[in-house]
A and B are shown apart, each in its own frame.
Chain A
Amino acid sequence: AQSVSQHNHHVILSEAASLELGCNYSYGGTVNLFWYVQYPGQHLQLLLKYFSGDPLVKGIKGFEAEFIKSKFSFNLRKPSVQWSDTAEYFCAVLSSGGYQKVTFGTGTKLQVIP
């Protein structure tokens, strides 16, 4: 069974600091990878996704993530965070093979201090 680990549960940063949120998955086959964001009081939104091709994926609002197959990782990065990035971030994995099941990590709460 596939699983997703997000090691940082709660991250506090000052504005303009750089961000990297870890995501590791366990699944031996082909995967599709996602990062979702949930702003306070809002529902989940897709931040970025990786299906194939360039392992460095750029998403909305200046976020990017890098798929490193050898490390089973898909870390999320942003060079300079803003207060408006305060939210909860979820990494998710979709296994290939016809059965469309997405497994979510436990989420990382990011708090950006002005």
Chain B
Amino acid sequence: GAVVSQHPSRVICKSGTSVKIECRSLDFQATTMFWYRQFPKQSLMLMATSNEGSKATYEQGVEKDKFLINHASLTLSTLTVTSAHPEDSSFYICSASDPGQGSYEQYFGPGTRLTVT
């Protein structure tokens, strides 16, 4: 099946610094990628949807200047958490799909645990 990877799997950073998380589709071209945030004991919250070559669509309440998303190619999307604060500590998960194949199935990455100290 389709594989999505994320890097890094775990990152610890100091408050005020920026962190970049990569999401790659390894064996298919992902025209659409999604970024989710998962809080402990809660569901996945969609942060934004990105389509290759265009600006990301952010969900209500998600600051686009804080969570920068770049979908530079059909296999790579990046999420940059700018000026991170402890409340940004969370589990970030990306997923990818290729609706052109007629399926809206999303393939999920393993997630990135961000801890801001």
Chain B residues touching A, majority SS: strand
The A1-60 residues at the B interface (CB cut-off 8 A) are 32, 34, 36, 42-46, 49, 51
Q: Which of A62-70, A73-81, A96-104 contacts B (4 or more CB under 8 A)?
A: A96-104
- State whether A43 touches B44 (Cβ < 8 A): no
- State whether B104 touches A94 (Cβ < 8 A): yes
Tell me if A82 is interfacial: C-beta within 8 Å of chain B: no
Interface residues on A, range: 20 to 34
- State whether A43 touches B46 (Cβ < 8 A): no
Q: Scan B19-47; emit 1 where CB is below 8 A from any A CB, else 0.
A: 00000000000001010000000111010
Interface residues on B, range: 20 to 34
- State whether B108 touches A102 (Cβ < 8 A): no
Question: What are the residues of chain A within 8 A of B34 when measuring CB–CB?
Answer: 102
- Nearest-CB residue, chain A, relative to B106: A102
Q: A43-B109, A45-B108 are in contact. Are A101 and B43 (CB under 8 A)?
A: no
Tell me if B84 is interfacial: C-beta within 8 Å of chain A: no
Bound-state Cα–Cα, A103 to B59, Å: 12
Bound-state Cα–Cα, A44 to B44, Å: 11
- State whether B46 touches A103 (Cβ < 8 A): yes
- State whether A104 touches B43 (Cβ < 8 A): yes
Q: A residues near B, CB below 8 A?
A: 32, 34, 36, 42-46, 49, 51, 90, 94, 99-107
